[in-house]
Amino acid sequence: MTAFGKLIRTTAFRLTLVYLFLFALFAASLLGYFAWNTRRLITEQITTTVNAETGEISDIFGRRGLRGLVVTIENRALRPGANLYLVTAPAGQAIAGNVGSLAPGVMATSGWSETAYRRLDEQDTADHHALVRVTELPSGFRLLIGRDLEERRRLFGIVAKAAQWSVLIVVVLGLGGGIFVARRVLRRIDAMTGTTQRIMAGDLSGRLPVGRSGDELDRLAENLNAMLERIEALMMGLKEVSDNIAHDLKTPLTRLRNRAEEALAKSGTEAEYRSALERTIEESDGLIRTFNALLMIARAESGQARGNMDDFDAAGVAQGIHELYEPLAEDSGMTLHVKTESTPLHGNRELISQALANLVENAIKYGKPVSAAQPLGADTVLNADQREIWIEARRAGDQVLLSVSDHGPGIPVADRKHAVERFVRLEASRTQPGSGLGLSLASAVATLHGGDLRFDDAHPGLIVTLAIPALSGASDGLAAQTHDVPQKAA
Amino acid sequence: MTATATDIQMRLLIIEDDRESADYLVKAFREVGYVADLASDGEEGLALAEGGDYDVLVVDRMLPKRDGLSLIGALREKGNRTPVLILSALGQVDDRIKGLRSGGDDYLPKPYSFAELLARIEVLSRRRGGPAEDTTYRVGDLELDRLSHRVTRGKDELTLQPREFRLLEYLMKHAGQVVTRTMLLENVWDYHFDPQTNVIDVHISRLRSKIDKGFERPLLHTIRGAGYMIRDGIR
């Protein structure tokens, strides 16, 4: 596209054209109105003067007769800038006045008419126009009094010329202004386009130029810059995550490979080969689980799982998970309890169950009281309460809170934000098996449902809460089925 | 592997476009004594499935020419009720729901273990053999009454928790077949995620202590690398 083509395609230029048309139209109609009014005014003025003079002269004729009339007419006709006068006898011949010739038939009809005429003293042959009034005097004489229309015509000419000029000026100034504004806008847009192209080419650090005027383009540029900032941050986050993933998947893969290599290198018995293979399968199962967890998190984070939501009671989920994990907790020397009230919500039951299961698994793995970790005899001094894990489903305001609390060492406040990141395994957990994805998934599930994952202190211990917006309006219907009986482990 | 519970040879049709995994499956199934045919695209699979008398179809979800779900839909429309197990790399909950809705009977995400696949196929094929919906299940001297919820072993009446009852019911319904941990989690608890811990094993050991403890012949067996099986007699 040529530069000019680009210019006339700009919005600014097109707007200019529209305004130009409107202004020209406005100027033309203003002048038109002015011209028409002036013409009317002049005509009115002529009519008034002629009427007055006709009355005056008829009067003179009445009082002083034909002689008086002729003297008066001749006098007046000689004045500079005089009106037009003509008196004719009953037979039609001119007696007095300054009119040499008239269009035929004008004198025969009484009243107003516009006619071409020529003055007596004029040499040129050009026709003039006049507005005249013909009056019949007593005894057959006729009197014509009129006024030349040259003045009116000239005025009209001036107005027409003014109209031409003003329209021309409007067009020239308008076009000039339009091009100026359009080029200015175009330059800035071009600058922005240049930057965006650089960004599209991969340089995410580019930012749009922002002027100082604070106009709409600057505001747009500022907003776009803020957006770029966010995109850059997200991309960085993504990169970090994929680096982590690469690292945390490579480690078990390396282990897997090393074991296979080791088994291959040593000549062993069938039993040794078998056990090496079994370990290999175990290790790959672990990898598959990690992959599945990652996919599930990605799924939850991208919002794809939103399609599979329905209404259910979180109390049921809490009881189900309690039922599933209670024997496991007991085997680990803990007791798992559940306490629920009616908590209807809209969500993905499977994901919320899994999130809660992850929290319970964490509590079983890491929620042992600190002193329990000490060797020999420490168990005996422990209060039974400290080995309790509570699953709780309750409603607080417009939120459903699904929480799991233990009396373990907890997570230091500084580490809490960190704990939900993928593959992050806090100091205490490094020695235990696990993928480091449990809390990430729980957090992603909370986010998917428009809620969040909270950590609180249980003095001592940890309370992890999945806070999810409650189903509005459904509380009454489900309230009847409240199960707030704390279920003790059998 | 486990001895097949069926007297007649099991006939499978595997519809899978990836040559290597298809060959692996055919070979593995033949080793356990099954007849396994192979189709490598959706159209061929549909034609074979309609013509042959198979016990179970193993269908990959993404196939050339006609995808797995549409193949199942076409079969079901024609009144073919052969049990179908869907294999898919799409392993998320909503994918499996879609798969089951389209007429599949079971859904196994890739990668899977052969033991898991085998166990599921045996359970599916049993379905076809007629109603396993007896009101009483018996394995050896263990008896479970599904109506009165009474469980007895010999002369002793056993007291089971509701969930233990359902666990035993599922195991006994598929007596003589391997039942994997995932199958138990799906069918007894209705969860489709895989827990990071051995949560099912703990439930099984509780159940075992109730039904086998103090009896001479154990009925509930652990099948290494696969899962569990309830059966009378030692393998």
B92-133 pLDDT per residue, tens: 666 777 778 888 888 888 888 888 888 888 888 865 554 456
Report the first-to-last Cα separation within chain A, whole angstroms: 82
Residue A480 pLDDT more than 50?
Answer: no
Residue A177 pLDDT more than 50?
Answer: yes
| H or E stretch at A346 | strand A344-347
Residue B150 pLDDT more than 50?
Answer: yes
- Chain B residues within an 8 Å CB radius of A326: none
Give the pLDDT confidence score for residue A48 in this predicted structure.
93
CA distance A212 to A130: 66
> Touching check for A271 and chain B: CB below 8 Å?
no
Quickly state the pLDDT bin for B6 (edges 50, 70, 90). Answer: very low
Q: Which residue has the tokens 């040794």?
A: A272
Give the pLDDT confidence score for residue A251 in this predicted structure.
79
CA distance A99 to A104: 13
CA-based nearest residue to A189, from A318, A46, A13, A29: A13
Q: What are phi and psi of B10, to 5 degrees?
A: -80, 135
Give the pLDDT confidence score for residue A490 in this predicted structure.
37
Intrachain domains A204-302 and A307-371+383-479 with the same fold: no
> Touching check for A305 and chain B: CB below 8 Å?
yes
Which residues contact residue A42 at a Cβ distance below 8 angstroms, ignoring those fewer than 6 apart?
A: A151, A152, A155
Quickly state the pLDDT bin for A52 (edges 50, 70, 90). Answer: very high
The closest CB to that of B194, out of A292, A295, A299, belongs to A292
CATH 1.10.287 fits A204-302, yes or no: yes
CA distance B142 to B153: 4
3-state SS class at A239: helix
Side chain identity at residue B49, one-letter code: A
Q: Which residue has the tokens 């179809």?
A: B57
> What average pLDDT does range A46-58 have in this prediction?
91
Residue B17 pLDDT more than 50?
Answer: yes
Give the pLDDT confidence score for residue B130 in this predicted structure.
46
Shortest Cα–Cα distance, A292 to chain B (Å): 8
Give the pLDDT confidence score for residue A203 in this predicted structure.
79
User: What residue in A sits closest to B94 (Cα-Cα)?
Assistant: A308
User: What residue in A sits closest to B207 (Cα-Cα)?
Assistant: A327
> Touching check for A285 and chain B: CB below 8 Å?
yes
Residue A2 pLDDT more than 80?
Answer: no
Inspect the interface and report whether the beta carbons of B191 and A305 lie closer than 8 Å: no
CATH 3.30.450 fits A11-154, yes or no: yes
User: What residue in B sits closest to A319 (Cα-Cα)?
Assistant: B189
Specify the CATH number for A307-371+383-479; select among 3.90.730.10, 3.30.70.100, 3.40.50.300, 3.30.565.10: 3.30.565.10
Residues 310-339, chain A, touching B (beta carbon < 8 A): 320, 323-325, 327-328, 331
Asked if ipTM goes beyond 0.90, one says no
> Touching check for B97 and chain A: CB below 8 Å?
yes
> Touching check for B92 and chain A: CB below 8 Å?
yes
* Ramachandran category for residue A422: left, alpha or beta (phi over 0 → left; psi -120 to 50 → alpha): beta
> What average pLDDT does range A466-490 have in this prediction?
54
> What average pLDDT does range B29-33 have in this prediction?
88
Residues B120 and B85: beta-carbon distance below 8 Å: yes
User: What residue in B sits closest to A279 (Cα-Cα)?
Assistant: B225
CA distance A406 to A460: 8
CA distance A298 to A428: 26
CA distance A470 to A108: 103
Inspect the interface and report whether the beta carbons of B92 and A295 lie closer than 8 Å: yes
Query: Of all residues in chain A, what percent are helix, strand and coil, respectively (each to 5)?
Result: 60, 15, 25
Residues A160 and A152: beta-carbon distance below 8 Å: no
Q: Which of B96, B182, B199 to mutate to test the interface with A (most CBs of A within 10 A)?
A: B199
- Chain A residues within an 8 Å CB radius of B101: none
Q: How many CB pairs under 8 A join A and B?
A: 65
Residue A489 pLDDT more than 50?
Answer: no
Shortest Cα–Cα distance, A396 to chain B (Å): 27
Quickly state the pLDDT bin for A44 (edges 50, 70, 90). Answer: very high
Inspect the interface and report whether the beta carbons of A308 and B113 lie closer than 8 Å: no
Query: Of all residues in chain B, what percent are helix, strand and coil, respectively (each to 5)?
Result: 40, 20, 40
The closest CB to that of B93, out of A320, A327, A350, belongs to A350
Inspect the interface and report whether the beta carbons of B199 and A435 lie closer than 8 Å: no
CATH 1.20.140.10 fits B136-230, yes or no: no
Instruction: Let me know if B61 is exposed, middle or buried by CB neighbors in 10 A (0-12, 13-18, 19+).
Output: buried
Quickly state the pLDDT bin for A291 (edges 50, 70, 90). Answer: confident
Give the pLDDT confidence score for residue A12 in this predicted structure.
77
Give the pLDDT confidence score for residue A481 in this predicted structure.
42
CA-based nearest residue to B13, from B42, B43, B41, B52: B52
Shortest Cα–Cα distance, A231 to chain B (Å): 28
Q: Which CATH superfamily is domain B11-128 in?
A: Response regulator (3.40.50.2300)
Inspect the interface and report whether the beta carbons of A361 and B197 lie closer than 8 Å: yes
- Chain B residues within an 8 Å CB radius of A323: 163
Domain boundary assignment for chain B: 11-128, 136-230
Inspect the interface and report whether the beta carbons of B191 and A351 lie closer than 8 Å: no
Q: Which of B202, B208, B223 to mutate to test the interface with A (most CBs of A within 10 A)?
A: B202
User: What residue in B sits closest to A438 (Cα-Cα)?
Assistant: B196
Domain boundary assignment for chain A: 11-154, 204-302, 307-371+383-479
> Touching check for B47 and chain A: CB below 8 Å?
no
Shortest Cα–Cα distance, A324 to chain B (Å): 7
Inspect the interface and report whether the beta carbons of B91 and A435 lie closer than 8 Å: no
Tens of pLDDT along A87-138? 888 888 888 888 888 888 888 888 888 888 888 877 666 678 888 999 888 8
Residues A249 and A283: beta-carbon distance below 8 Å: no
Neighbours of A133 (CB within 10 A): 19
Residue B235 pLDDT more than 50?
Answer: no
**How many helical (H) and strand (E) elements, i.e. helices and strands, does chain A have?**
11, 13
CA-based nearest residue to A86, from A59, A46, A126, A53: A53
- Chain A residues within an 8 Å CB radius of B109: 292
> What average pLDDT does range A167-192 have in this prediction?
85
- Chain B residues within an 8 Å CB radius of A325: 199
Residue A477 pLDDT more than 60?
Answer: no
Shortest Cα–Cα distance, A301 to chain B (Å): 14
Inspect the interface and report whether the beta carbons of A305 and B92 lie closer than 8 Å: yes
The closest CB to that of A434, out of B191, B196, B225, belongs to B196
Quickly state the pLDDT bin for A47 (edges 50, 70, 90). Answer: very high
Sign of CA dihedral A36, A37, A38, A41: positive
The closest CB to that of B197, out of A288, A328, A354, belongs to A328
Give the pLDDT confidence score for residue B110 in this predicted structure.
81
Tens of pLDDT along B35-73? 888 888 888 888 888 887 888 889 888 888 888 888 888
Inspect the interface and report whether the beta carbons of A281 and B113 lie closer than 8 Å: yes
Give the pLDDT confidence score for residue A437 in this predicted structure.
79
Shortest Cα–Cα distance, A488 to chain B (Å): 14
| pTM score of the predicted model | 0.63
CA distance A184 to A178: 10
